[in-house]
Each structure stands twice: as structure tokens, then as C-alpha cells.
Amino acid sequence: MSFVYKSDPVRGRQWAEIFAREAPALAFRIWPDIGDPAQVRFLAAWEPPARLGELFPNLQVLFSSGAGVDQFDFAALPPGLPVVRMVEPGIIGGMVEYVSWAVLALHRDMLQYRRQQAQAQWKAAPVRPAGHCRVGVLGLGSLGRAALAQLRSFGFDCAGWSRSRHQVDGVQCFAGADELPAFLARTQILVCLLPLTDETRGFLDVALFAQLPRGAGLVQVGRGPQLVQADLLAALAQGWIADAVLDVTDPEPLPPDHPFWQHPNIWLTPHIASMTQPDTAARVVLDNLRRFEAGEEMVGRVDRARGY
């Protein structure tokens, strides 16, 4: 019985060490060294190979090596194959750091100070307490909730929005399309931590931006295709959005002449908000294998019909 890893091979070797220590009976193989395909029961991949069901006829679980699963073509996967996304402390910690940095940067006018420095300008803006700033997070999943817990600790006035109803300590929770306008109307810094699905593609558009208070900040850490780029440029030009921090774009990277690169009100980072950490991820996957064998629910099990 074997486990195939098909993602960054350097990180794969770190997984291999942990598997060898903690699950020596399970052969751990790094793509393309797959051994006998009929022996492959588990696959961890960012992009699964084509014709997965034919290649690995006895595959029992597909693990995403990242938090997102939008890179999977669900229709091409064997029907009924369990799919599990990555929910692990390393990726959560990285996202908490990035969102904290970005929200603090927007709250403390750091993009304005970058612009001023380029003009050799020494000009202070008033410092407002975090408690006077209303932050809203789209998505109350493993990453959204963790980011909100940290933002609360700075004292921000926090809210979150999700498809289904959640209760999160100290966070005003909104749910569903009906409550989106109220969530947006109160949100001065908007963080997007939604998965990419048919419903969230193009979600960050002019209609949404127009519901935010004028001069809002945007942090986009979900997926590039959720943002309508022309609408962001228009919202920035009109002042509906004051500044934006974008970690994800469509495509990645943007072409060299794309207006986002040189835009004074956009801070771009190259999809580095968070990354799966091999040591913690391998242990989480091993725990999920134990759960699978015991017939228990695996952490991060994806609802294939819902797309996340």
C-alpha cells in the first residue's frame, strides 16, 4: 500500500522523513516515482495527474497539498473519491501573520507613507485606535476565523460573513446574501478569505465596492479570479477604495504592463500570504489517514458539490 506525493519535491522529502518515522508500513513515494500504481491508495497533490482514476485504480483519498481546492477539476475526478483540503497549523499561522500585517498597514496608512517617502515628504496623519476601525472578513473558515481571532487581539471591531450561520467570540457574524449589505456597510477594511467557486468568481466587483463606506481598504488573499480588476481600478479612481493589498491575481504573475504593478494605491505580493508547512502538514495528513482507517470524519473534507 502506498502514498504518493505530487507537489514541491523539496517539501516532499520533509514529508517523507516524517512518514518514514511515524507510518513506516506505508510506502511514501514522490512523483514521478510512483511504483506499482495499483498499490497507490492515497495521493497528496497540488495538481493531480490526468485520468486519475485510470492511473490509480485503487485510490481511496485525494489530499490537496494546499488549503484551496479550486485547482482540482472535480468533474474529472473519480465520482465519490473523498477530497480533503489542507487545514494545518502552519498554513493558518502564515495567513494570520499576513492578514494582520495587511490590516495593520491599511489601518496605519502605510501605503500613504510609502507614497510620501517616494516624494521625500514628512507628514504625519492622526493615529486612530484599532477599536475605531471596523474590519470585516469574507469567509469564516479555518483561515478567516484564525485571522479574526488575531485581529480582535489588536482591538479591531471585527465582523465576518459566510454562507451559513456561525458564532465566533467577539465577532459580529453575518450570513448569506441577505446579510451581505449590512456587513459591507459597516466594513472599513475588507479581507477576502473566500474559496474560489462558481459563486465567488467575480464577487469583488463594483456593486460590492459601492456598498462599502467611502475610502475603505481591501485585502485580497482568496483567489485572483474573485476580483474584477477593472472594477477595482474604477473604485480606486473614485475613492470608494482608498488602498488595496493584493496577494493573489489573475493570472499569476500579472503581465509586465498590467496597471496594478505601478498603481500607487495597490500593494502587490506574489501569492505568499501563507504556505503549507511540511512538518505540521504531514502530521495532519497522518492523523487524517488514521481517521480514515477508523471510519471517522477527516479534517478538511471537501463537499465536492459545493466546491470547497
Q: Is 139 in the site for ligand NDP (CB under 6 A)?
A: yes
C-alpha cell at 86: 489542507
Is residue 196 a contact residue for ligand NDP (CB under 6 A)? yes
Stretch that binds ligand OXD, among 25-33, 66-74, 130-138, 211-219 (CB under 6 A): 66-74
What residue type is assigned to position 257 of the chain?
D
Q: At its nearest, how many Å lie between ligand OXD and the CB of residue 26?
A: 24
Please count the residues of this chain forming the interface with ligand NDP, following the rule CB under 6 A: 29
What gap in Å lies between CA 69 and CA 244, rounded to an integer? 25
Q: How many CB atoms lie within 10 A of CB 295?
A: 6
Is the Cα dihedral 45, 50, 55, 60 positive or negative?
Answer: positive
CA distance 157 to 187: 9
Which residue has 507628514 as its cell numbers?
Answer: 123
Range in contact with ligand NDP (rule: CB under 6 A) among 28-36, 72-80, 196-204, 279-287: 196-204
| CA nearest neighbour of 23 among 285, 281, 276, 277 | 285
Identity of the residue, 90 or 133, whose beta carbon is nearer to ligand OXD in the bound complex? 90
Q: Which of 45, 52, 135, 140 binds ligand NDP (CB under 6 A)?
A: 140
**Contact status: 49 vs ligand NDP (CB under 6 A):** no
* Least CB distance to ligand NDP at residue 29 (A): 26
- The reply on whether position 66 binds ligand OXD by CB under 6 A is yes
d(CA 130, CA 184): 18
Neighbours of 262 (CB within 10 A): 8
Which of ligand NDP, ligand OXD, none sits in contact with 217, Cβ below 5 to 8 A by type? none
Q: Is 271 a catalytic residue?
A: yes
Cell output for 227 = 476580483
Q: Which residue is nearest to ligand OXD (CB)?
A: 66
Structure letter (DSSP) for residue 130: G
Q: What angle do CA 173, 296, 163 make, to 5 degrees?
A: 20
- Residue 90 interacts with ligand OXD (CB under 6 A): yes or no: no
Q: According to CB under 6 A, which one of 67, 96, 218, 236 is a site residue for ligand OXD?
A: 67
By beta-carbon proximity to ligand OXD, the closer residue of 90 and 217 is 90
Residues binding ligand NDP (CB under 6 A) = 67-68, 91, 95, 139-144, 162-164, 193-197, 199-200, 221-223, 247-248, 271, 273-274, 308
